[in-house]
Amino acid sequence: MSNPSQKEPFRLDGKAAIVTGGGSGIGRAIVHRFAASGAAVHILDVDPKAADGVVQEVAAAKGIASSSSCDVTDQGNVKATVERVLRERRIDILVNNAGISHVGTLETTTEQDFDRILQVNVKGFYNCMQSMIAHMKGNGGGVILNMASIAGSAGLADRFAYSVSKGAVLAMTYSVARDYLEHNIRCNCISPARVHTPFVDGYLRRNYPGKEEEVFAKLAASQPIGRMAEPEEVASLALFLCSSEASFITGVDYPLDGGFVNLRG
């Protein structure tokens, strides 16, 4: 039997978090989960309309959320936005989630595509972490969670630039975790396999018109567990890693892949 006096696990009461790319997909799910668990969440998103929509959803659910329009590739924009947020409240958690994808091999990836992917998926994470790290040091600690991908550690077909960027996210995670141990700053990452988000639906509509269901089923079956992950499942792991129950965990990459890496046969 449970002890009624036992504290509910994985709560973020009294904590505040910044979630980049919180206007849709995985980011939106993380915002909702964190807010439902007691955190005040501030969304940074290049799409202010989408971010405002999530803020309204959280408010309707009696949670606390706010948002700022922010281009994570622009260091000046990131620094100014973060400074504005920090004037209003202490931030305990940074979730680097904003990212873009790309389909292509080494030969078919243009220089423009390569630069664009690195600007968002690598420099964007760097900009946000650099803007937050002094604040966390000054407050005696914090948590950084980076959204990576199994593409960063497993060979995926036609994902050259995307894989490069997510491999860099792994390296940044390990480096930051090592460098800031003495400052009580934990840094981990999650590496999902395919997650069913609006991006997936849009990709199928653009590239496989009339065959969306067929191709979706094929992509879902590529995970040994037989389906794609849901954004809420990624959010659940994010909540754990940012909670006090995970206080002994840092410098770790968590695959959330339905058996994709180890069980393919």
* Catalytic residue IDs: 162
Q: What's the CA gap between 113 and 161, in Å, rounded?
A: 8
The beta-strand segments (E) located in the chain are: 16-20, 40-45, 64-69, 93-96, 142-147, 185-192, 253-256
> Which DSSP string corresponds to 6-63?
SPPSS--TT-EEEEETTTSHHHHHHHHHHHHTT-EEEEEES-HHHHHHHHHHHHHTT-
Q: Is 253 helix (H, G, I), strand (E, B) or coil?
A: strand
